[in-house]
Amino acid sequence: MTNWLEIDKYAKEWIKEAGARIIKSFSSELIIQTKSNKNDLVTQIDKGTEEFLINKINKVFPSHRILGEEGLSEELEDLKGIVWIIDPIDGTMNFVHMQRDFAISIGIYEDGVGKIGLIYDVVADELYHVRKGNGVFMNDIRLLPLKDTAVDEAIIGLNATWVTKNKRIDPTILEPLVKESRGTRSFGSACLELAYIAAGRMDAYLTLRLSPWDYAAGKIMVEELGGKVTTLRNEPLDLLTQQSFFASKPGLHDEILQKYLKEGNW
């Protein structure tokens, strides 16, 4: 029988250790490379953090599988067994330019079902964590279940750059949502935006393309608190591919899908 308490204990220790390593790196010169485009950055700290976590997992849980952003883990074609989905630094552009507003994200799944989620805001020293069925916490503070919120009272996570640069999308489709919401925000770190929904700091987050390691942990948190997480087509997410992404409080999720997102070619 899987000992989830033990796995949770180790995961928390390792994510804190990884965070401390990142803080120590602030005085080092960064080696910055690009991946898919000039704004898709990766540093030696991203790669070093992923390698650190993979080594820890392999040593203590050799039967577990790993899916990581930086390509240091195996390529997975399914989610059978226990799978750790890791983003060593979500918000690398923030890390490079500001040394804040980035996080380490770890989602642990069993046969495709989220069991443990950890999002560590390294600079703020805020560890958001969930063990399925046992609530969501920010450090030692238990977070409250999510309540329905209307669009005109909602803060929506939406990155205008994604919308205006995507040639498939007519940016005017989202104008009514932007105008009628209380406000929009973009923090440059998907996992932090999901943690903020869990903490009640934001009400929804949507984006045109997101990878599993960006949301694996946050998805578990939002759903644990009663929120909904789907694609922009209201379809289940595939944790092995990039897709559109939409997470929000329960009633708000339905309102936005039905009133604002029906016309989009998502």
How far apart are alpha carbons 57 and 201 in whole angstroms?
A: 32
| Residue 125 annotated as part of some ligand binding site | no
Domain 151-264 is found in CATH 3.30.930.10: no
pLDDT score for 229: 98
pTM across the whole model = 0.92
| Residue 140 annotated as part of some ligand binding site | no
Query: How confident is the model over 176-216, as pLDDT tens digits?
Result: 999 999 999 999 999 999 999 999 999 999 998 999 999 99
Indicate the pLDDT class of residue 40, thresholds 50, 70 and 90: low
Query: How confident is the model over 62-76, as pLDDT tens digits?
Result: 999 999 986 666 789
Q: Which helix (H) or strand (E) holds 157?
A: strand 155-157
> Could you tell me the fold of the domain covering 4-142?
Fructose-1,6-Bisphosphatase; Chain A, domain 1 (3.30.540)
Delimiting residues of CATH 3.30.540.10 domain(s) in the chain:
4-142
| Residue 214 annotated as part of some ligand binding site | yes
Query: How confident is the model over 210-254, as pLDDT tens digits?
Result: 999 999 999 999 999 999 999 999 999 999 999 999 999 989 999
pLDDT score for 27: 74
| Residue 69 annotated as part of some ligand binding site | yes
Delimiting residues of CATH 3.40.190.80 domain(s) in the chain:
151-264
| Residue 152 annotated as part of some ligand binding site | no
How far apart are alpha carbons 10 and 145 in whole angstroms?
A: 26
pLDDT score for 50: 92
